[in-house]
A and B are shown apart, each in its own frame.
Chain A
Amino acid sequence: MPATDHILDQILDLAATHFKVPREKLCADDDFFKTLGIDSLQALDLLTRLEHHFRIELPDYELQGVSDFRTLANRIQARL
């Protein structure tokens, strides 16, 4: 399994658990703001959890224009 897919799985698991959305309803190319029903403050919350989970620092400006899980996974991959 490509590394990014593995990262993607972990992101979707974490997002589903924290925002209490059924895991099966989350897809890689979903707009996570819409699918998770979150705003920017909650997106920062998600970012913090992802940083802790992957033990990385991911500046929030890296999320500019990013709204789908797959691109988010690519950004995280680039920091590992």
Chain B
Amino acid sequence: MNDFKGQTLSWQIVNGVTELALHHDPCNEIGSLTLEELEKFAAALPGLANEAHALIVHSTLKAGFSAGADLRELFQRGQEMEKDAAQRGVREFLKRIHSVMNALDAAPLTTIAAVHGVTFGGGFELALVCDIIIADRMARFCFPELRLGLIPGFGGIPRLKRDLGNAVVRDLLLTGRSFNVMKAQQIGLVSQIAAEGEALRVARATASQVGKFDRRTAATAKAFVKPIPYEELSREIDIFCDLYSRPGVEEGLRKFVENEGVQPYLP
């Protein structure tokens, strides 16, 4: 399937590059519907890899790349189901999202995340599966999960450890603070900084560059330098599910969801 127009995302091939556009208001929160459409994309990926030499993942929404997991849906499901069923549901969701993330991570084509604005939690994790992150100067990154009594659950910790020094990972996780693109480049997370609104254009130029090289060689080099930490990823699911079962998490989610103030995204 070379092109698809969904409710939360769409893709098409442009000049030999697959462009996956996220467009789920208000800020590409990743819930059941987005997961279903991401699974469609992951299923189409082998075919797309035969037609394209690169993948760009980007958002068409002004607010940012993605604010992460759909916490409202997570809270609501927890309220509607018996505790055991809710926990099984969370584990199942995580297994499915991990499957998608792993497929993207291992994709035999060069993958580029073109990010802007809010790139938090699961959204940050989606950017992390890509080979290269290009960010505009208004991008802001965060793993806020500790604020809810959780850890990143979409594969963020093993991938962050893969890419960055442990001291930086500890800082980001344990403070739950957001940081800007200058810091992101300084720590080695972001490859290039674009002017505001220009991340996709810069990503397209980079994708054009990588298209000059033999694809099999590029795929082989990528597989060599980018191991996928499957055991740690599996362990992350177990830890997340264990933490999710604690009573304080429901309360943390409730506070976030029911917050009618202006500050839910601030720590």
Binding site for B on A (CB under 8 A): 33, 38-41, 43-45, 47-49, 51-52, 57, 59-61, 63-64
Contact = CB atoms under 8 A, between A and B. Distances in A.
Nearest to B259: A40
Interface size band for B = 20 to 34
Contacts of B175: 59, 61
Given A40-B263, A40-B266, A60-B266, A45 B138 contact: yes
Contact of B177 (A33, A38, A41, A60): A60
22 contacts: A33-B262, A40-B262, A40-B264, A40-B265, A41-B117, A43-B266, A44-B118, A44-B266, A45-B138, A47-B140, A48-B137, A48-B138, A52-B180, A52-B182, A57-B183, A59-B175, A60-B177, A60-B178, A60-B267, A61-B176, A61-B177, A63-B266
B116 to A, nearest CB: 11
A64 B183 CA distance: 21
B27 interface: yes
B179 interface: yes
A57 B27 contact: no
Nearest to B171: A59
B63 interface: yes
Interface string B246-267: 0000000000000000111111
B140 A44 contact: yes
Contact of A44 (B137, B178, B182, B183): B178
From DSSP, what is the main secondary structure of chain A's interface residues? Answer: helix
Interface of B: 27, 63-64, 67, 117-118, 137-138, 140, 142, 175-180, 182-183, 262-267
B180 A41 contact: no
Contacts of A39: 262-263, 265
Given A41-B63, A59-B175, A61-B175, A48 B263 contact: no
Nearest to B67: A41
A64 B179 contact: no
Nearest to B118: A41
B183 A41 contact: no
A52 B137 contact: yes
Contacts of B178: 44, 59-60
B124 to A, nearest CB: 14
A57 B178 CA distance: 10
B137 A45 contact: no
A55 B180 CA distance: 11
A23 to B, nearest CB: 22
Contacts of A47: 140
Query: Which 6 residue pairs spanning A and B have beta carbons closest together?
Result: A40-B265, A59-B177, A61-B267, A39-B262, A33-B262, A40-B263
A60 B177 CA distance: 6
B182 A43 contact: no
A43 B263 contact: yes
Most chain B beta carbons < 10 A, residue from A45, A47, A60, A61: A60
Nearest to B181: A48
Most chain A CB neighbours (cut-off 10 Å) among B117, B262, B267:
B262
